[in-house]
């Protein structure tokens, strides 16, 4: 059931990322055509694209963790025996979860201080964009813990051995 729930959440996040990228792409094309073809632009399009890019990045970080596509240097780890590789994998995910927990802790205080400001063009509160940090970090923590559980259960394959 845990893997099924994870698959559903991952599919939802992947769909959101794809949708956000599509909106960014179409908005960029539209803005270029309007600017160079008609010397006009859409009010707030730049801020919208910026916000969607921020959310895409924060959600994409969680998706990368789930697929174990985050940045790692596995040269030495692949030389270890299977049990030691699993231990290193679990410790790495716990460390990533801890760092993201620290980021949530500090970002909430930061959002409380400056989140009431409004964006210059659309006049929406900045906390709407800033909340992407604890949201993305929370998803990263969720996926880190999920990867830890699956690694301990032996249900998630470790990255394949590669040569140094």
Residue 158: predicted pLDDT: 59
pLDDT tier at 160 (50, 70, 90 boundaries)? low
Range 130-136 contact pairs with CB under 8 angstroms and sequence separation of 24 or more:
132/54, 132/55, 132/57, 132/58, 133/58, 133/103, 133/104, 133/107, 134/103, 134/104, 134/107, 134/108, 135/55, 135/58, 135/59, 136/55, 136/57, 136/58, 136/59, 136/61, 136/62
Residue 162: predicted pLDDT: 47
* Residue ranges of domains in the chain: 2-153
- Grouping H, G, I as helix, E, B as strand and the rest as coil, residue 138 is helix
Summarised one tens digit per residue, pLDDT across range 83-141 is 888 999 899 999 999 999 999 999 999 998 887 888 888 888 989 999 999 999 999 99
Residue 98: predicted pLDDT: 98
**pTM of the predicted model as reported, rounded to 2 decimal places:** 0.86
DSSP secondary structure letter of residue 156: S
- pLDDT of 161 strictly over 60: no
Summarised one tens digit per residue, pLDDT across range 21-33 is 999 999 999 999 9
Place of tokens 């040569």: 163
Q: What are phi and psi of 113, to 5 degrees?
A: -80, -40
Summarised one tens digit per residue, pLDDT across range 18-69 is 999 999 999 999 999 999 999 998 888 889 999 999 999 999 999 999 888 8
Residue 16: predicted pLDDT: 95
């Amino acid at each position: 059931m845990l893997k099924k729930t994870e698959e559903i959440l991952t599919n939802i996040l992947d769909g959101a990322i794809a949708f956000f990228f599509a909106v960014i792409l179409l908005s960029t094309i539209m803005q270029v055509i309007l600017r160079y073809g008609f010397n006009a632009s859409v009010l707030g399009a730049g801020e919208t694209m910026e916000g969607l890019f921020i959310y895409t990045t924060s959600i994409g970080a969680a998706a990368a963790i789930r697929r174990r596509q985050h940045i790692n240097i596995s040269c030495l780890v692949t030389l270890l025996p299977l049990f030691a590789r699993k231990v290193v994998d679990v410790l790495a995910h716990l460390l990533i979860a801890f760092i993201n927990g620290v980021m949530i802790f500090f970002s909430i205080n930061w959002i409380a201080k400056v989140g009431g400001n409004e964006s210059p063009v659309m006049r929406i509160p900045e906390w709407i964009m800033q909340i992407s940090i604890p949201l993305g970090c929370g998803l990263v923590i969720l996926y880190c813990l999920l990867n830890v559980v699956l690694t301990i259960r032996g249900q998630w394959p470790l990255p394949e051995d590669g040569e140094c």
